[in-house]
Structure 1
Amino acid sequence: MANFSTHITVAAAGAGLLSVLCLQVGLADPQEALMLALLGTIGGILPDIDLQHAYPSRIMFSLFGIIAAFMVVFSKKNDLSIVELWGVGLITFGMIRFPIWTVFHQYTHHRGSIHSLVAAVLFMLLTTAFAYHVMEKIPFMAWLFGLFVFLGFILHLLLDELYSVDFMNTRIKRSFGTAFKILDWKKREKSTLLVVATILAWAIVPDSRAFWDTLLSADTYRIIGSRFLP
């Protein structure tokens, strides 16, 4: 499998290039393009979130904790004191970073259900729903946010599969086939829960017609072609 440095470098490069494309053809403004690059990079390390003692897991749960803490703090009334708001934020962060992190790793194993195409779809839908309902983005931009997470996630899976092939000695390592898979068929209960969670996430995403109309439109690719070269 590829290491953390390789994953985050490749994901950041790929997401950065695509975000510039979105900016130049008018699909995103500068702030949104920056967010797209960040989301693609995050997607590129998400599949390793179930690796308990690795950087991606600690980074991602710390990030989730920080985001959740700010959301909780800013949802409280202003009649709370500064110290009380600090306390609420710290407790929220601590709950996600430590006990929830610990419980999560008791029921997951590396390259299991999280390391699959269905998980990529789940994280895409969750990102889309979050962007629409919490960040109040329009449906098109919410889906674009989700797409970048999905693409970063898929890039991670592909990299791990490529690292399972020893091109110098032209042989296949035993880890081949464990990264890029639809589901973890050996863990049927966990995979079933993952499918159920994906279906539930689909129920809360915004309408995707504007997104697909733009993505599949010939006009979109004509614009890209006209702006692609000097």
Structure 2
Amino acid sequence: MPVPARTRTTETPRTLLPDLVYDNLLTLVISGDLAPGELLREEEIAAWLDVSRTPVRDAITRLRDQGLVVYRPNRGTRVAEIDLDQARAIGQTLAALHGMAARLALPNLTPDDIQHIRDLIADPADLTDQLNAGPVQVTAVQRILQIFRERSGNPVLDEAIRRLQPHMTRLRGLTSDEMPRDWVRERGGAALTAIDAGSPELIGQLMQGFFLTFSENLLAEASQQLGLPLTPAS
């Protein structure tokens, strides 16, 4: 398994060592630096991060629980191949979760939250986010979804989204990672209307539909890039 130049993982008061190791491996998987099918050797990863094998083993277990790495007898532990049918199921699930988050969040949105959403929809051009590097349209949408998650008041829902989201992020790395600005503004304008109307059901339906459309577009482009067939959506 090729790894970057040796580095040292330093534990901070707010971040435990196992979490840092996990974060490092997660970043390598979703960025494609660790390619689908690549063998993961605990000793190499431990040497790269200058840690013992225990936190590495724990991190790999977490990634396996997320479906991002797999273990096969006689083949070892490898980065999971991209499965577009599974990705579609994950996208559909995330769409439902984001819709629920928006529905729960609406009564908890502050005036500052709403203004922030308006600003993101109206003019995302100056926004940058290293964690979501790419066209600003995607970054703006990610921030809007994050506001809903944070205001949902449901940590279980938030954790479920965090566990599934890396699968979509992997696909984004294979695509142009773009959404038409006019499309974002049109859907965002409808969301603002639902927020102003104080309708949790409407905002939930809109955000679920928004993410589902985004997911299907992502799958279609990833299918072309990978040369893999994509079953028509039912």
Q: TM-score normalized by structure 1?
A: 0.26
Q: TM-score normalized by structure 2?
A: 0.26
